[in-house]
Amino acid sequence: MNDEVKQRLQSTETWIRVLFMLLFMFIQGSVKFLIVLLALFQLGSTVLTGQANTRLLKLGRQLAMYDYQISLFLTFNSEQRPFPFSSWPSDTDNRTSDNADNRTPNENPEKTSWFQ
């Protein structure tokens, strides 16, 4: 085996990264399950009330951003460890021009009814 490969295999940084990756793989599976549950609750809320639940919208956005942060870490696109080793994604992180803040009132999910 190459000496560089041996060094990397013996490096504690490599094995710490592996352990964190395994931890975040488990967490990401749980987050994806929560997103599915949240989507079902949001569907029920929309059917019963005629509009999306704003608290569930916020939580869904945060969970999606957290899932994205984990994906970046797992694919080596980021060295920053996601929550709980960094802050929880806020509701305003990573907003783009097509997100909720830039929607017209008719496009705002809180005010949109599927039954109109």
Per-residue pLDDT of 12-42, as tens digits, reads 888 999 999 999 999 999 999 999 999 999 9
CB 31 within 8 A of CB 67: yes
Q: Is residue 70 predicted with pLDDT exceeding 50?
A: yes
pLDDT band at 108 (very low <50, low <70, confident <90, very high): low
Classify residue 33: in a domain, yes or no.
yes
Least Cα distance to 65 among 41, 87, 43 occurs for: 87
Using alpha carbons only, what angle is made at residue 94 by residues 47 and 37, rounded to the nearest 5 degrees?
A: 30
Average pLDDT, the chain: 84
Structurally, the chain folds into a number of domains equal to: 1
* Helices 12-49/54-74 angle, 10° precision: 160
pLDDT at 105: 46
Model pTM? 0.73
The answer to whether position 7 is within a domain reads: no
- Judge whether residue 111 has pLDDT over 60: no
- Say if 115 falls within a structural domain: no
In a 3-state reduction of DSSP, which class is residue 73?
Answer: helix
| Residue 75 domain boundaries | 12-107
Gap between the Cα atoms of 61 and 77, Å rounded? 21
DSSP 99: S
Q: Kindly report which listed range (1-15, 48-62, 67-81) carries the lowest average pLDDT score.
A: 1-15
pLDDT at residue number 95: 53
Whether residue 113 is contained in a domain is answered as: no
7 pLDDT higher than 90? no
Q: Mean pLDDT across the stretch 65-72?
A: 96
CA distance 100 to 108: 7
- Under DSSP, the state recorded for 71 is H
Distance CA 78, CA 81 (A): 8
Residue 103: is its pLDDT beyond 50? no
